[in-house]
Homo-oligomer: A and B are copies of this chain.
Amino acid sequence: MTQRIPIVEKILSANDRLAIENRARFDAAGVFTLNVMASPGAGKTSLIEKTVSALKGSLRIGMINGDIATSLDADRAAAAGAAAVQINTGGDCHLDAVMLQAALPQLDLARLDLIIVENVGNLVCPAEFQLGTHKSVLVASIPEGDDKPYKYPGMYRGVDAVVINKIDLLPYVPFRREFFKNGIEVLNPGVTQFELSCRTGEGLPAWLAWLVAQVSSTRQNSVSGHLAS
């Protein structure tokens, strides 16, 4: 197994260089970019749908979706009102900076405020590949179980926010909230957390407010940068 490591390191380092290029393009355009990760079925697409529906009147939103196959998720984001681009990874279990860069020409960055990148459903590999996005968020879900921070530490350690989705199912499944939260706290102390239900809408406003604040901050930094230069 050890012979794989050097190769992976080279890919990661090439990937990181491209991620830096991607970030520079986002910054130049003043568009805030968010990498959304989760295990399959935690609710990435539902969260993106709800977010686009709620914010499309006030923000210009693009969406880049990574999936092994199909454009089901990009279709849902497009139906909700985003400019959506589909990347089919053709078997790859994560998005990387190369794939993201290849998708960018299909979006007019200068005319967007927010780009949401939906990664492949996977709690392992996506955490290892920087894309160049400004922030990353992990969507966890109640029925997945309360042991996930302990079992997928790399993912929980690396994200800027954790959205805990499907809280409407709390009455129907065993879930030790303190055990779950303690696991997160050890790996990622003080990380921003949201508890919500995409199905009922409970808890969505706090998430939307956080996201809008990120977008505003990126736009202001970009304007300051342009004025200073």
Binding site for B on A (CB under 8 A): 1, 4, 7, 11, 39-41, 67-70, 72-73, 91-93, 96, 98-99, 120-125, 128, 141, 143-145, 147-148, 150-154, 166, 168-169, 172-174, 199
Tell me how far the C-beta of A60 lies from the nearest C-beta in chain B, rounded to whole angstroms: 27
Enumerate the 5 nearest inter-chain pairs by beta-carbon distance, A residue then B residue, closest first.
A41-B144, A93-B124, A143-B143, A39-B40, A41-B145
Please report the C-alpha to C-alpha distance between residue A36 and residue B169 in the assembled complex, in whole angstroms.
Answer: 26
Copies of this polypeptide in the complex: 2
Main secondary structure of the interface of A (DSSP, over half): loop
Report yes or no: A121 in contact with B39, Cβ–Cβ below 8 A.
yes
Contact A68 B153 (CB under 8 A): yes
Give 28 A-B contacts (CB < 8 Å), ordered by A residue. A1-B96, A1-B99, A4-B7, A4-B11, A7-B7, A39-B41, A40-B145, A40-B148, A41-B143, A68-B151, A68-B153, A70-B147, A70-B150, A70-B151, A72-B150, A72-B151, A91-B128, A91-B154, A93-B93, A93-B122, A93-B124, A120-B124, A141-B143, A143-B143, A143-B169, A169-B172, A169-B173, A174-B199
CB closest chain-B residue, reference A72: B147
The answer to whether A41 and B148 have CB atoms under 8 Å apart is yes
Please indicate the chain B residues that have their CB under 8 angstroms from the CB of A150 in the complex. Answer: 69-70, 72
Determine how close the nearest CB of chain B comes to the CB of A115; give it in whole angstroms.
Answer: 21
Which residues of B are found within 8 Å of A70, using beta-carbon distances?
147, 150-151
Q: Are A68's CB and B121's CB within 8 A?
A: no
Contact A41 B141 (CB under 8 A): yes
The answer to whether A123 and B124 touch (CB under 8 A), given A72-B147, A144-B41, A169-B143, is no
